[in-house]
Amino acid sequence: LGRELYVFEQVNSTNDLAKKKAAEGASHGTVVVADQQLSGRGRLGRPWASPPGTGLWFSVVLRPPLKPFLAPQLIFVSAVAVCHAIRDYTGLPVTIKWPNDILFSGKKVCGILTELSAEIDIINYVVIGIGINVNQEMADFPPELQEKAISLAVAGNTKYNRVGLLKAILKELEKEYEIYLTEGFPAVLKHWRSLTSTLGQEVMVSSTDETFTGVAEDINGEGCLLVRTEDGNVRSVMVGDVSLRGK
């Protein structure tokens, strides 16, 4: 990954640019990285704050030999890779929150936005967009993020080299992607389970049309979160947001 690499000072969104490059034929492994995004995008249509000088904002183009319905599995591949790489590079005990946020002591250090372009039977490309709060001070975060976000620098009380971290992540992503293709999704889920802090927790789940609470018991073979609600039923959540209850 990263043999074809585009570096920008400022873009609207590295995901948008990576999708454009992919549509124009960019090869598997192409990386688009920017120091600043003017309209960085998050999951579920949210904006993603991407100021200059402090964060790592980048997107990777993948061309997996998979049926489109399997594309969501890459969400778990990327979460495992990023979590491992941050742990190795910084020594910080970061964890995964279902499906693919990376947390440090309950606060978000990294978000991942996966986007797919497919025909009925084949994937054209997948763009994995990764945003990491690397060197921000707490005061750099907008008021609404103060409670929810943290940077690696604040967590580790030291600044980190963004290029070094990018390299570490690309290496780890290449490795986990290879494991996924050769050993299959169960191997990835096993890694994911060993890195998550969501399982066993009381959670509040918000999906597009409802909110409910329960205990996050496991993920199934498709990566859906299995939540046991108060009435004892288990609900399987495919898309949505989870937060620890009361937070």
- Is 42 annotated to bind a ligand? Reply is yes
Name the residue number minimizing CB distance to ligand BTN.
111
Q: d(Cα 68, Cα 93) in Å, to the nearest integer?
A: 33
- Return the range that interacts with ligand BTN (CB under 6 A); candidates 9-17, 134-142, 166-174, 230-238: 9-17
- Is 14 annotated to bind a ligand? Reply is yes
- Is residue 151 involved in binding ligand BTN (CB under 6 A)? no
Q: In the bound complex, what is the minimum distance in angstroms from residue 39's beta carbon to ligand BTN?
A: 7
- Return the range that interacts with ligand BTN (CB under 6 A); candidates 52-60, 63-71, 154-162, 233-241: 52-60
- Return the range that interacts with ligand BTN (CB under 6 A); candidates 44-52, 68-76, 188-196, 213-221: 44-52
CB 50 within 8 A of CB 25: no
Q: Exposure of 208 by Cβ count < 10 A (0-12 exposed, 13-18 middle, 19+ buried)?
A: exposed
Residues in 206-245 that interact with ligand BTN by CB under 6 A: none
Which residue lies nearer to ligand BTN by CB, 134 or 224?
134
Q: In the bound complex, what is the minimum distance in angstroms from residue 8's beta carbon to ligand BTN?
A: 12
- Is residue 191 involved in binding ligand BTN (CB under 6 A)? no
- Return the range that interacts with ligand BTN (CB under 6 A); candidates 19-27, 37-45, 146-154, 162-170: 37-45
- Is 213 annotated to bind a ligand? Reply is no
Structure tokens at 215: 């205990």
Phi/psi at 187 (5° precision): -65, -40
Q: d(Cα 68, Cα 66) in Å, to the nearest integer?
A: 6
Q: Which amino acid, 227?
A: V
CB 227 within 8 A of CB 243: no
CB 100 within 8 A of CB 110: no
Sign of the dihedral through C-alpha 9, 14, 187, 228: positive
- Is 41 annotated to bind a ligand? Reply is yes
Site for ligand BTN (CB under 6 A): which residue of 22, 48, 77, 162? 48
- Is residue 37 involved in binding ligand BTN (CB under 6 A)? yes
> Residue ranges of the alpha helices (H) in 67-197?
73-90, 152-156, 162-183, 185-195
- Is 162 annotated to bind a ligand? Reply is no
> Residue ranges of the alpha helices (H) in 70-131?
73-90
Binding mask 123-142 for ligand BTN (x = CB under 6 A): ------xxx-----------
CB 239 within 8 A of CB 209: no
Binding region for ligand BTN (CB under 6 A): 13-15, 37, 40-43, 46, 48, 50, 57-59, 101, 111-113, 129-131
